[in-house]
Amino acid sequence: MANTETIYVLNGPNLNLLGTREPETYGRATLADVEKLCADTAARYGWKADCRQSNREGELIDFIHEAHASKAAGIVINPGGYSHTSIALHDALLGVRVPAVEVHVSNIHARESFRHHSFTAKAAFATLAGFGADGYRLAIIGLAARLGVKAKT
């Protein structure tokens, strides 16, 4: 049975630079802003958002494994550049069988061609791209809908 109290929100490399890194592409919202948005949105569904960021692929894999071990309700993940390179993250997401939504702040399909392919998207039940920080809110709403969890407020 899933831990209906927790979802993991995982952010990959360089997302600690949100708000200052290429604001014309990634916007002005900081990682702290994103984490607050996730916590507030998750709370609407009776969830706690366990938000984590790492620039290291192996640590992100450990977080995914931990989500499974703790019986988290789901995962919202922005793998950053690892989306396009990491078969290991893909395999971890498939291996744990925790429902996952992939989020990208920018529209990866309107950018360089190397960004058009995502290994991790193939292990998620949905992908959102191009909504800016609001994509995280939409991902949590979509996760709740997929799990049949209704908003409490």
Q: Give the tens place of pLDDT for each residue, 71-89.
A: 999 999 999 999 989 999 9
Pairing between strand 48-53 and 100-104? unpaired
pLDDT of 2 reads 45
pLDDT of 109 reads 74
Catalytic residue among 8, 26, 45, 136: 26
| DSSP state at residue 133 | T
Active site residue 26: yes
List the chain residues with pLDDT less than 70. 1-4, 110, 114-115, 153
Active site residue 8: no
Sheet of strand 48-53, all strands in order from the earlier edge strand to the far edge: 48-53, 3-11, 72-78, 100-104, 126-129
pLDDT of 117 reads 75
pTM of the model: 0.93
Q: Which domains does the chain have, with CATH numbers?
A: 3-147 (3.40.50.9100)
Catalytic residue among 45, 82, 104, 136: 104
pLDDT of 114 reads 67
